[in-house]
Amino acid sequence: MNKSLLIGLLATILLATTPPAQAQQPTKAARIGFFDVGSETGNAALAEPFRQELSKLGWVEGKNLTVEYRFADGRAERQDEVAAELVRLKVNLIVVAGVGAALAAKRATTTIPIIMASAGNPVDSGLVASLAKPGGNVTGFSALASDLNTKRLEVLKDAVPKLSRVAVLLTVQAPRSGDDLRAAAIALKLKLAEIKTETDAQSFERAFQSAKQKQVGAIMTTANRALLGARKSVVELANKHRLPAIYPQKAFVDEGGLMSYGVDYDDLFRRAAVYVDKILKGTKPADLPVQQATKFEFIINLKAAKQIGVTLSPEFLSRANRVIR
């Protein structure tokens, strides 16, 4: 066989046996946990942008990725159980939504990386040492819960200028999430009625009856995963009692709520997927700073305003990112 023929034959063999190049495509299969303190049906929408971003990064469920979804259904007593189960499954990392889930995961493991897709105040909660240098096995994203609670109260006062008394709906699982609102209420010359509730239909009905008895002129909810999962019931009762309400996420407005002001949670969950990709490729969580939310959205539903008999000024409407007419 002459030399040129041999070279050609070798080149053909190499082309036939070499797979096409795929830029940055992960080759090793991974198993991760996805832990939300709320319910699967109530919070499924937030998992979708997370999955979409992972797919863009080359991680596809059923091919090179298995995701173990677990939900605590708003029950604080289940959080440690769920976290321990994911540790027993020996997942490569755990993605958590909510401070409760993050704390439970941290109690369950000091070695498996934990990524907070959204956590209110991770430093104050003891999840990380600092935002810039989280240390340990926890990193992720902060939803700026305290700052935004105060901002929502301000927006509610602007929407209803004659407002004097506001109810804040809290769950028994997170009764202290309204602490930061007290000083803000005093500054805005508002009286705050803190109403604690379970997340079943009967408890919500009693909570709203209590709000009416306290003669509140409006109501707000904090960024609470359990309330997010029960948002349909909350919105229906607020509209039934003709109470102007402001919510922390657009999902409440999608259910017919009056307005929402808060972080863009779709963006946070997409960014969490980027951290998943980095850690699965070898980056240590301690080397990834905790990042704060950078995208916010203010949405107003004029259909709901008409339903409850509230008139919003043109100046107020001009501040919204989106107005549903």
Domains of the chain: 30-144+264-295 (3.40.50.2300), 145-263+297-324 (3.40.50.2300)
pLDDT at 120: 81
Question: Cα dist. 186→61, 183, 262, 303, 309 in Å?
Answer: 50, 5, 22, 31, 27
pLDDT at 143: 85
pLDDT at 94: 98
**Which one-letter DSSP state was computed for residue 255?**
T
Residue stretches of the chain with pLDDT short of 70: 1-27, 42, 173-178
CA distance linking residue 3 with residue 287, whole number of Å: 53
Question: Cα dist. 119→89, 168, 289 in Å?
Answer: 24, 20, 14
Rounded to the nearest 5°, which phi and psi values hold at 288?
Answer: -110, 115
pLDDT at 77: 85
